[in-house]
Amino acid sequence: MKFSLQANDPLSKARAGTVTTAHGEIQTPIFMPVGTAGTVKAVHQRELKEDIDAKIILGNTYHLYLRPGLDILEKAGGLHQFIGWDRPILTDSGGYQVYSLSKVRKIKEEGVTFHSHIDGSKHLFTPEYAMDIQRTIGADIIMAFDECTPYPCDYTYAAQSIKMTHRWLKRCCTRFDSTEPKYGFDQTLFPIVQGSVYKDLRIKSAEFIASMNREGNAIGGLSVGEPAEEMYAMTEVVCNILPEEKPRYLMGVGTPINILENIALGIDMFDCVMPTRNARNGMLFTRNGIINIRNKKWENDFSPLDAESDLHADLVTSKAYLRHLVHSKEMLGAQIATLHNLHFYLWLVKQAREKIIAGEFYEWKNKMVRILGNKL
Ligand SMILES: Cc1cccc2c(=O)nc(N)[nH]c12
């Protein structure tokens, strides 16, 4: 994997770059649609590529390991082959999902034992196994096995947690560097900075992660319920330490405003379930603010979702029709709302990139931040 920089914003830490993987190039800043179990819910791979030009999607070790399982994925020749997606894929390592999904789990030095949220079966994820699983899935970018420090947590817990995440990272690097890709194309491992909302712990973790000298770096343990100001403060501290010449990935972030503010702090890559999950509940993100399409006010508004959009669905779907579909829990409602939100997120980061290259990002970002939170 390679990373090159095309432009830096003169008034912020925003930058425009290009990540080059075995499955193609990704212009940054970029948003990565979440495709947890091998599908971006309600959107077909053709739409992802041709209607919204998604450059990279996420998969998830925890879910894919449980279903369809490693045997099927290996027989298919890896996740790209299995789902019919020939662009880049990034997989999270499973630690976070065990923490957020599995009821019964135990965190020990060796790893995390948990019971499947599907059938209650018992499993053990170790740093080594998380690497082996991601080799079998075959994502271009894979994540270290970390402990996402819960929020809130006391300083002592956070300090112990980063020490274990750092020990697990060394085990991930040892295993990853001593194994080969299974399907003939290169994979890269990103380590993850933790430290909760404690500045000194974030500095310590960022310095350790940077010292591992991997091809890219991620920031975890944010977007877990902390106030936005805390998220921005920690991101700023960490971005000032992570090397400029490597891509920076802020995990699980966020709202459109969060994304613009974190681009200004030097983040290149984002993922979040918000555009897909909230779409299914009728929450639409637009360039003028947020629409709750279930609101009665849209009942007889026959104007298109977004007349300025280049997304076909935005032009041919009225607000009234989408309200009817979502209200009636029709599958088409989830499909159109999800496609709209993902198209908007990808439009937003593409606009950000163009403004960075034109040297106009800072003013544009401040104007957008004032608009994007509006309730329409
Ligand atoms: C997906 C996600 C969101 C938010 C935080 C995290 C994190 O800290 N670690 C991992 N592995 N994943 C995360």
Take atom 11 of ligand 1 and give the residue whose Cα is closest: 96
Question: Is the whole-model pTM more than 0.90?
Answer: yes
Residue 71 belongs to domain spanning = 2-272
Number of Cβ within 10 Å of residue 192's Cβ equals 27
Per the CB < 8 A criterion, the answer to whether 25 and 19 are in contact is yes
Question: Is the backbone peptide bond immediately before 152 cis, with ω within 30 degrees of 0?
Answer: yes
Q: Which atom from ligand 1 is nearest to the alpha carbon of 95?
A: 11
From start to end of 55-181, where are the E strands? 57-60, 89-92, 105-107, 112-115, 122-125, 141-143
Is residue 103 over pLDDT 90? no
Closest Cα to atom 8 of ligand 1: 220
The pLDDT, as a whole number, for residue 98 is 81
Question: Which 8-state DSSP code applies to residue 146?
Answer: -
Q: Residues near ligand 1 with C-beta < 6 Å? A: 92-93, 95-96, 143, 146, 148, 192, 220-221, 223-224, 251-252
What pLDDT does residue 104 have?
A: 67
Identify the CATH number of the domain in which residue 259 sits.
3.20.20.105
Measured in degrees and rounded to the nearest 5, phi and psi for residue 135 equal -65, -40
pLDDT-derived band at 231, boundaries 50, 70, 90: very high
The answer to whether the beta carbons of residues 15 and 5 sit under 8 Å apart is yes
Whether 101 maps to a domain, the answer reads yes
The one-letter code for the residue type at 107 is I
Give the tens place of pLDDT for each residue, 235-291: 999 999 999 999 999 999 999 999 999 999 999 999 999 999 999 999 999 999 999
Residue 190, in any domain of the structure: yes
The confidence score (pLDDT) of residue 97 equals 87
Does residue 368 lie within any of the structural domains? Answer: no
Position 280 in a domain: no
Number of independent structural domains in the chain: 1
Residue 332, in any domain of the structure: no
Contacts of 74 (CB under 8 A, 6+ apart): 136, 182
Q: Is residue 354 part of a domain?
A: no
- The per-residue pLDDT for range 342-354, each reduced to its tens digit, is 999 999 999 999 9
Is the C-alpha dihedral spanning 350, 354, 356, 357 positive or negative? positive
CA nearest to 139, candidates 61, 204, 192: 61
Lowest mean pLDDT among 107-121, 268-282, 307-321: 107-121
| 174 domain residue, yes or no | yes
Calculate mean pLDDT across residues 299-315. 98
Query: Contact at 8 Å (CB) between 52 and 343?
Result: yes
Q: How far apart are CA 322 and CA 324, in angstroms?
A: 5
- Of the residues 9, 51, 268, 271, which is catalytic? 271
Please report whether residue 260 resides in a domain: yes
The count of other CB atoms within 10 Å of the CB of residue 50 is 11
93 marked ligand binding residue: yes
The 10s digit of each residue's pLDDT in 20-73 is: 999 999 999 999 999 999 999 999 999 999 999 999 999 999 999 999 999 999
